[in-house]
Amino acid sequence: MKRKYTLIFVAVVVIAFLTVAGIYLAHSNIQVLNPKGPIAEKERNLIYIALGLSLIVVLPVYGLTIAFVIRYREGNKKAKYSPHLQGNWILETIWWLIPTAIISVLAVIAWNSSHTLDPYVPIASKNKAMVIQVIALDWKWLFVYPKLGIASVNYLQIPKDVPIDFNVTADAPMNSFWIPQLGGQIYAMPGMSTQLNLMATSYGEFYGSSANISGNGFSGMNFMTRSSSMGGFNSWVKSVESKENRLTLSAYAQLARPSMYNPVSYYSKVKNGLYLDVINKYMMPIEKSSSGLNSSYSTNMGMGMSM
């Protein structure tokens, strides 16, 4: 009778835990589980697949652990002593074969997803991709729209259903550009340019941030991404073009200085080739590059990485 109550108690605890977890997931906005773009959706599905395959091992292990603790506890005099189970080839085959099969499946999935979700691969769409240059600064994000000649700080506006080709670099310590609801992160490093192709398939505002601790102002290094209609995007562009701020070399040098908790700001005119100037200044072996930006590194740094 005591054993019966113990099993009922364990079952109630497990059911209660699963119920609470289900309610929490249903009513919480966990951004990586609430995708608003094709890349984020595929990454969300990968999380579910990996979790499901892992549970095939985890649940039996925890279940058997609880069963062994209850069955072979000191007070249970009815527990059967079975020393000959050791070396049983049938059981050993089972508990080696299942994990091996799961790892093999995960390996195939990881291989395929590494290629299909390559951040450098353009997103197939009937709409032409838009290039946006991203520069990670201390501690703020600068977004340059090279075709439009405008820029924004800590605010990103994009049209819905239009692929965005992000070119990412840094004029500060290594950082990481991340919009969880649109896709995985990619590193921003001084002296080099990485790429990240994303697209929003829903209207709305999506939180973006740095995914790499980079100093005192890291906590304030976040931005809002707004997905709108093409008409809404064009209206936003016109409003930015009406601003008086211009991003000249001197204005950029002032902007690039370390500062924390920076407000959203806009620039109606951006110096041509600014993105390349930022990259090249870390590749010049002299104190000042031809662009006029101070150089603090003499070599190309690192490799682009994505998650």
Type of residue at 89: W
Type of residue at 171: D
Q: What is the 3-state secondary structure (H, E, C) of 109-172?
A: HHHHHHHHCCCCCCCCCCCCCEEEEEEEECCEEEEEECCCCEEEECEEEEECCCCEEEEEEECC
pLDDT for the residue 241: 95
User: Which residues, in sequence order, are CB contacts of 24 under 8 Å at separation 6+?
Assistant: none
E-assigned strand segments in the chain: 130-137, 140-145, 150-153, 155-159, 164-170, 175-179, 183-188, 194-198, 204-210, 222-228, 246-247, 265-267, 269-270
CATH of region 130-280, choose from 3.90.550.10, 3.30.1540.20, 2.60.40.420, 1.10.357.10: 2.60.40.420
Full-model pTM: 0.80
Rg from Cα positions in the chain? 26
Q: What percentage of the chain's residues is helix, strand, coil (to nearest 5)? A: 40, 25, 35
Q: Which two tokens stand for residue 265?
A: 């700001």
pLDDT for the residue 3: 61
pLDDT for the residue 267: 97
pLDDT for the residue 73: 78
pLDDT for the residue 305: 42
Distance CA 84, CA 81 (A): 9
User: Which residues, in sequence order, are CB contacts of 101 under 8 Å at separation 6+?
Assistant: none
Averages of pLDDT over each 10 residues, the chain, 307 residues: 66 79 76 92 92 85 82 77 72 84 89 90 95 96 97 97 97 94 94 96 95 88 96 97 93 94 95 94 61 45 41
pLDDT for the residue 6: 67
User: Which residues, in sequence order, are CB contacts of 130 under 8 Å at separation 6+?
Assistant: 145, 147, 158, 159, 162, 163, 164, 165
281, 295 contact by CB (below 8 A): yes
Distance CA 178, CA 181 (A): 9
Three-class DSSP category at 101: helix
Question: Start-end ranges of CATH 2.60.40.420 in the chain?
Answer: 130-280
Type of residue at 85: L
pLDDT for the residue 60: 82
